[in-house]
Structure 1
């Protein structure tokens, strides 16, 4: 039976379908759907009925029959492509939609459908081509501009995405999705207040829009408005409990609020929902901060297996392995820290016109070692510089920050020191190398760390000059209580880590009340040094730091002290490199270089570690330090 034989059945079914009764429409079409039926229009309409009621596999079979009956039925190819994509057969979906485009090249919606499938199946370049083909045919379609904006956002082309989304909004001002995508673009462009405004506008139009709540949380988080970020992400999850990205984002935020158990539970839930590189990596980060190194390493390995070229995962896995003492596998992965694909990388290769040293023979060659990251890193790894001469380097140069140059000039074996202030030309060398790549090039293991100290020295003139300004006799103890806050750093985890490693000057009060000890401040920083003024006048440590010009001066002060007590900052490394007794106060999720579960360190023989036993609890640490200081004080007084 065909529609020509009983046209009223087809028309009745079409009316029922148009009226929102797909099941009744399909029942009406039943006489037209026998095994030998070949009416493409009836088969197409029946397939639409089945797809609408959720029977997509059966719908696909009917569309295939419709196409067999009439190969040039473009909308059957289009419908088949869309349902095949929903069934997960991306290749077949793409093929069907390409047929539809070939049959109707001037129909914008067909290009639009193909673009969406190409985008979602991981073909962004082809998808962009189809979006632009559709726009060439129908430039006033706001949804096309919006979808193109979403694709451009995903490709990292955020300025172009902003333009596309703004055009969508111009055409359709109440388009919530376009306001959301605009907010996402502005977020990545660093225009955080503008992003927040766009996302709030999206939510006035569509209050239960989970994705907009998620993006709003990100805007708040980057503005360090943690309470608002947490609220927005909670809202996104309440609206969409399987929103893995919101779960993992909320989890990472909660770690900064020391709500570690909740954070771990959320990140585990995210992995259960969506076990991809992002969720596994973020669970690994939370586990790392909870000192569950074996589990963290396993998560990073799983994430790296999914995306073997991910620089961020390589770097996180490196930190986990190094913290566990697995230097053989950790150092090679540590090289990811300067990978161009790393978001917010702190280490950028210098623009030098000669080769990056990868371990080639240095006999008779010239090499420049390049500073990276913080002063503490330079102090720690400058121990390798004399060893380079032993490898036959004919000319060894070191590029360093100016505040360390005068101190570094005391290291043996360096032919030229170059301050990175633009005042000194850099001559031709055979190779260059980062400071923190030297352990890899020397094949360093925990057992072979070169720990002959001191390898940094204060000049005798500086030592005598500062000695005259320090108290005579008694036990002299230097104090540092905070690191560099770096609130504007692109990676929020950097400033978060500094908050965890830092405390306030008043935390030292149990020490400052101890008799017979002369305390000396080694604290620098506009806000942190000023905390001395919050202490009772009689208990304030001697503060000479306003007269300190550089680290050579600081080292001379330290040479006149009996002990340095410091949180994990550059001063910990400076004191260690000078061979002085140093007590390092380590946050619970301590830096990888201090390894785990030990109160000494192979990097500095005279160092002792006092680790937090609970996240954020410095009082218990200071109580142990006070007890240790009592045992030390009488013998030195």
Structure 2
């Protein structure tokens, strides 16, 4: 391109008013990344001869510069002047897309493809619009058409992979990602997304390699660092894992959470006599799990100010801290620290996880108030159940089994069930599977996690999906069984029924992706054993 630009410059010196040379020189400069110099030359060409082809070139350059309003005006004019010019409609679609006018953009791309069915870039861009509009099937068809038209396009294979990945068609998506990586080995997002996919498939070694390749290509790619940390922590490689976990503050989901406090960050300085603000940063389950570090700060001589979600108000009232909730003014402190940075600063390793339970407790008065509402026992064993987490969580579809998956448990004799489920998951109670005759549902009267804790005090066992009540039961030191997807959250590790985070917890893992039936069949067997033991004990008493 540089040689061509040199020759066009020479031609322009000889023919300073030649519109074709002006157009080609402006296009060449723009393609070399010099749009500020190229666009004025294309404008000059357009003034000499206002042909739609020149307008299309100028509009395309303006789109690259994100000057979408001007581009839309020029390209709309070109499409009107020559309705049979497919590229005019294609680039007009790009400008409309940049302006957020999705419906008009789709129509423009479709007109372009009706005129020129082999216009591969229009297929790609139309696919992108359908993907944004939540139409993955239509997007996939567009991307497959683009792949067929230009099989050597890394972008086409990558876009196809992303839509397949979102639909959890993981094996197909992997093939497309690997093709895109072969065609463009230096594209960091391809390596990153391949890492996500391998992680979802449980191939953590391949995921780690992909994340590290993405980091090599783009050393400051925060999402690659953060997801690498999840792989490392899952494997118990805490030393490097906690360091990589700090990259979360530069990802889109976290970037505003760490900088809103005008106090120095705590980096391990001596805390004796100091006041430190510890702020919750993620879900309620995370807050419950890592509240175990607060006593360590107090033991180090710190005065702790703890910022929490309002739903944990009563539950945390017994902690030796000053508590803050949304809307409260923050007092002056010497340091601040995010809650989930404490394991790194305390040098936590697998063998040094602070796991003394209980470290939270229900108020005895609240427990006593709930006892008559639960009523007298109707079976030797009383078991609380939770089947779903927050549906807005990206992986909730794979971690939340739903109420129907609990059916094998309901066939176990000698068990009374108590519904602990809150939130959207309660919808499963309407029109769901047949419920056991011995089931109590205090859910509508539960106002916060203190109520849940008080109910758990009256249970023999809690059975939960991977969500906040599981952490609550573990923090209370209550017996709890957790149903885990094949590739669980990092905190549960990769194997085994025990977890160093909660001594009273037992993990039941999927042995195949999506196989909840296997989990609950095994759990039903264990529950039957427990119920028989409880019945035997009751008879002996």
TM range (shorter): 0.7 to 0.9
- SS of alignment partner, residue 32 of structure 2: helix
Matching residue of 1:407: 315
SS at match of 2:487: coil
**Maintained 8 Å contact 2:383/2:461:** yes
Quote how far apart the aligned CAs of 1:519 are: 0.7
- 1:147 is displaced (CA, Å) by 2.8
CA gap of 1:467–1:329, structure 2 versus 1, over 3 A, is: same
Pick one of 378, 396, 399 that aligns with 1:501.
399
Q: Alpha-carbon deviation of 1:274?
A: 1.3
Shift of 1:541: 3.5
- 1:431 corresponds to 2:332: no
Does the 8 A contact of 1:476 with 1:517 survive in 2?
yes
Residue 32 of structure 1 is matched in structure 2 by: none
Is 2:429 the counterpart of 1:532? Answer: yes
Deviation at 1:605, TM superposition (A): 1.3
User: 1:553 and 1:337 mapped to 2: Cα distance?
Assistant: 33
Are 1:241 and 2:148 matched, yes or no?
no
Mark the runs of 5 or more structure 1 residues left unpaired by the alignment: 1-78, 83-92, 120-126, 154-159, 487-493
Going from structure 1 to structure 2, the CA distance change for 1:172 and 1:293 (only over 3 Å counts) comes to same
For the 8 Å contact 2:154–2:184, the answer to whether it is kept is yes
- Contact 1:183–1:199 at 8 Å: present in 2 too? no
Between 1:231-240 and 1:134-143, the stretch displaced more is 134-143
Correspondence for 1:164 among 58, 67, 71: 71
Give, in angstroms, the shift of residue 194 of structure 1. 5.7
Please point out which of 605, 619, 623 is paired with 2:521: 623
Which position in structure 2 is the counterpart of 1:383? 292
Residues 1:216 and 2:126 aligned together: yes
Shift, 1:328, TM fit:
0.9
2:26 to 106, 109, 112: 112
Q: How far did 1:568 drift?
A: 0.9
Structure 1 residue 539: Cα displacement: 4.4
Q: Give yes or no for contact 2:93–2:106 (8 Å, CA) kept in 1.
A: no
The answer as to whether partners of 1:601 and 1:608 remain within 8 angstroms in 2 is: yes
Q: Is the 8 A contact 1:149 1:181 kept in 2?
A: no
Contact kept? 1:347, 1:372, Cα under 8 Å: no
What does 1:80-159 align with in structure 2 at a 5 Å threshold? Answer: 81-82=3-4, 108-109=22-23, 112-119=26-33, 127-134=34-41, 137=44, 141-153=54-66
Alignment counterpart, residue 441 of structure 1, candidates 345, 348, 360: 345
Question: What does residue 300 of structure 1 align with?
Answer: 211
Instruction: Determine if contact 1:323/1:591 at 8 Å carries over to the other structure.
Output: yes
The structure whose RCO (Cα within 8 Å, separation 6+) is larger is 2
Farther-moved stretch of structure 1 (136-145 vs 468-477): 136-145
Highest Rg: 1 or 2? Answer: 1
SS at match of 2:499: coil
TM-score by length of 1: 0.75
Sort the Cα spacing of 1:377 and 1:131 in 2 relative to 1 into closer, same or farther, 3 A: farther
- Cα gap change, 1:147 to 1:520, in 2 (>3 Å): same
Shift of 1:216: 3.4
Shift of 1:378: 0.7
Alignment partner of 1:360 is 2:248 = no
The number of residue pairs the alignment matches comes to: 516
TM-score (norm 2): 0.87
The CA distance in 1 between the partners of 2:489 and 2:191, in whole Å, is 21
Asked whether the 8 Å contact 1:454–1:578 carries over to 2, the reply is yes
Structure 2 distance, partners of 1:366, 1:383, is: 18
For structure 2, the residue ranges without an aligned partner over 5 or more in a row are: 536-541
CA contact under 8 A between 1:410 and 1:458: conserved in structure 2?
Answer: no
Measure how far apart 1:499 and its partner are. Answer: 1.0
| Kept in 1: contact 2:275–2:334 (CA 8 A) | yes
Which residue of the other structure, out of 346, 349, 365, is the alignment partner of 2:258?
Answer: 349
1:176 and 2:104 correspond: no
Other-structure match for 2:249:
338
| Residues 115-144 of structure 1 deviation map (CA, whole Å, 9 limit, x = unaligned) | 42332xxxxxxx342245446645775234
What is the alpha-carbon distance in structure 2 between the residues aligned to residue 600 and residue 358 of structure 1? 32
Distance 2:16 2:389 in 1: 62
Farther off after superposition, 575-584 or 164-173 = 164-173
In the alignment, which of 305, 309, 312 is matched to residue 223 of structure 2? 312
Q: How far apart, in 2, do the equivalents of 1:263 and 1:278 lie?
A: 14
